[in-house]
Amino acid sequence: MKKYALSVCLFAAVFNVKSQSNMNVDQKVSTLLSRMTLEEKVGQMTQISVEAFLKSTNGKLNEPHEFDMAKLTEAISKYKIGSMLNVGGDAQTLDLWRKRIETIQKLALKERIKIPVLYGIDAIRGNNYTLESVLFPQQIAQAASFNPAMAQKAAAVAAYETRAAFIPWNFSPVLDLGRQPVWPRIWETYGEDPHLVTEMGKAVILGYEGSGQTIDKYHVFACLKHYMGYSMPLSGHDRTPAWIPERELREYFLPQFAAAVKAGAKTVMVNSGEINGIPVHSNKHILTDILKGELQFKGFIVSDWQDIQYLYQRHKIAVDNKDAVMIAINAGIDMSMVPTDFTFCDDLIALVKEGKVSMSRVDDAVSRILKVKFEAGLFDQPAGNAKDYPLFNSPQHNKLNYDVAAECITLLKNEDQILPLAKGKKIFVTGPSASSMRPLNGGWSRNWQGLNSNETEKGKNTILEAITNVFGTENVTYSEGATFTEAKDLKDAVTKAAAADVIVLCIGEDSYTETPGNIDDITISAPQIELAKALAATGKPVVFVLTEGRPRIISAIEPLSKAVIHAYLLGNEGGNVIADVLAGKINPSGKLPYTYPRHTNSLTNYYHKFTESLEFDPTAGYNPQWEFGYGLSYTTFTYSDLKVSDPTLDANGELTVTVKMSNTGKVAGKETALLYASDMVASITPEVKRLRAFQKIELQPGESKVLTFTLKSEDFSFINNDLKRVTEPGKFTLSIGGLTSVFTYQ
């Protein structure tokens, strides 16, 4: 290993130290580009999934994974590919990942031009394709924390553990707006509010990339997904058409990407779907005019999985692959996630020679890619040093995982203060989520759909195991009662429930993501409803624990519960956190990052228009089960003394808002103060309210603090009919904690 590492360093040194030590990054890119052939340039624009180079037996990949060196060599030597991705099935060991990256880079550095390969992975809440890495709560759960600083810490650990596998590029964060609750990727978002998504996204990018222009060996480059409008398909089904006017795109879907670009994100992945009949991979207006033009994005744009090919295979806007490549590259795509053949290389080379794709467009794309490679430090250290990562899966990282999950969990109901449970209570635990790690982790957990979490995470505690550990074997009984798809053991569950003091019913969804997660009904599954009704008939109090990636409608059974805990997808510490919430060791402080609907045909977001309210539509107006931002505590908080620094605000001024928050209960707790604004009259119909700022603080019993918010005119702006962001003169109402104040913008 020492000889091999030395050879890699020597290869890198020949090119970098001697040739370019005194150049800045742009000069290095320009010099390198001038030496490259067309084939080498196209290779840099090509990304191939690693399973194309792995050995298999009878159609299944060998475990542990093994390279077919002839195929890998062909890809690098003949096609000059510059990027790889994916795991090729199930998660692999840290040692195998390191050897994989070293093998790839050794081949790349033998080539004439000696450009390292850029490897990307979906490490969306931890290095989940590496065995034993820390799996944090999924994005939707982290959003419920309303704590960007905590999310930044989790992202920094995820970056560290990803770089420990010698991987420098993370396909995260997802900045899609989670406002279509049927969509199967809601749990990969930071919720339905643009401001919340923006603040969480900026924090996570800082955690991934660090604060410098380049990234060090403990950080990774972020990749913003999925630019933009991907999360709003009309049907709610993944990768189906969206119809979003540009005014609405700019109002709700663009701001978080704009903020992330400004925060320094260097790569962007594209929406796989179509908007208004135009696939985004072919949309020059969105990719080039807006992203590279208006936002001045200097990084590179990578396609999503096979999406250039899909321009002719699915979308039918191209006649063949060559036509699709021409359309996508001319629209602004810089790198094609092909993902498993070399058709992109052959066709793009032909297109350039035919003059259908200009060399300047290719040079622009390659320059962007090379710049990221230089800024990732790949030319100086194409792989890594194992000794630099002693904290991989360390107690410190796992403790942070617990702390993050503790801030995400959300208490939605607590009648008669049944929670926390008194000591000595006889607890009956049941439901399909109780004894499985899959509903705690969701998809992208060691494999794409998270199917094997019970095997790979067997060292972690399920909800049942954690409750048993906390409350004692003598106080806990269990029966599954039902699966997600089938009622079973109902009699056994009812019998055991009748002998208990309280029932903890764990319900929700099994793991999934993307198209396999499409559903035709957002209502929680019938077997779980049947189980809930049977248990409630015993007369014993029922506590719901919801483990779900999207809000499954429970209005038919919610009245049967005494308490409801929303656990989202809490990750590997989820079981422990849920048990400690039940026991009162954790005071829940999460808030809903989306509107929890009451009915299948009423999926309105909290920033709805006045014509969508109950006052206008008493039959089906906005009447959710729980509103965005809702969440209870084991203590009580009161707000008082709301003050606004000035009754008027002008274009160049600032508005200082203060409010006093007090813990009037008996235990310490954390509370998120949500500051909303309502535009009373506007040229575009205003929303009832919009979140404009938030703060989360901890207060001891009897303690009070004054919170301060500083707002500017742009905080009250919107996109008008001319697609311009404006703040119009008039009255605005601020609201926080049940208090309101009015000011005038002039």
List the catalytic residue out of 122, 193, 304, 679: 304
Residues 79, 44: Cα–Cα separation, whole Å: 9
Residues 208, 297: Cα–Cα separation, whole Å: 18
Residue entry with tokens 């794709």: 357
Tell me, what amino acid is at 679? D
Residue 377 region by backbone torsions, left for phi larger than 0, else alpha for psi between -120 and 50, else beta = left
Name the residue among 551, 471, 553 with its Cα closest to residue 504: 471
Residues 307, 311: Cα–Cα separation, whole Å: 7
The tokens describing 320, both together, are 């063949």
- Please give the pLDDT value at position 1: 40
Enumerate residues 6+ apart whose C-beta is below 8 A from 18: none
| Cα angle 191, 195, 197; round to 5 | 40
- Please give the pLDDT value at position 43: 98
The number of angstroms, rounded, from the C-alpha of 487 to the middle of its chain's C-alpha atoms is 32
Coarse DSSP helix, strand, coil percentages of the chain, rounded to the nearest 5 percent: 35, 20, 45
- Please give the pLDDT value at position 488: 87
Question: Residue 547: beta bridge partners?
Answer: 508
Name the residue among 290, 170, 145 with its Cα closest to residue 229: 290
A 10 A CB-CB count for 590 gives 32
Residues 360, 362: Cα–Cα separation, whole Å: 5
The tokens describing 449, both together, are 């759909």
Range list of H helices, 187-254: 194-209, 246-248
- Please report the domains of the chain, with CATH numbers, ordered by start residue: 2-388 (3.20.20.300), 409-612 (3.40.50.1700), 637-745 (2.60.40.10)
Q: Is 216 a catalytic residue?
A: no
Sheet with 267-270, edge to edge strand ranges: 223-227, 267-270, 300-302
Please give the C-alpha separations between residue 589 and each of 37, 141, 632, in angstroms, as whole numbers. Answer: 57, 12, 7
List, run by run, the mean pLDDT of 10-residue segments along the chain (746 residues).
Answer: 40 42 87 98 98 95 97 98 96 98 98 97 97 98 98 98 98 98 98 98 98 91 98 97 98 98 96 98 98 98 98 98 98 98 98 98 98 96 97 98 98 98 96 98 97 97 98 98 94 97 98 97 98 98 98 98 98 98 98 97 96 92 97 98 97 97 98 98 98 98 98 98 98 98 97
Enumerate residues 6+ apart whose C-beta is below 8 A from 69: none
Residues 148, 154: Cα–Cα separation, whole Å: 10
Query: pTM to 2 decimals?
Result: 0.96
Residues 403, 400: Cα–Cα separation, whole Å: 5
Tell me, what amino acid is at 263? A
Range list of H helices, 36-167: 38-44, 69-73, 94-108, 139-144, 148-163
The tokens describing 495, both together, are 């019998």
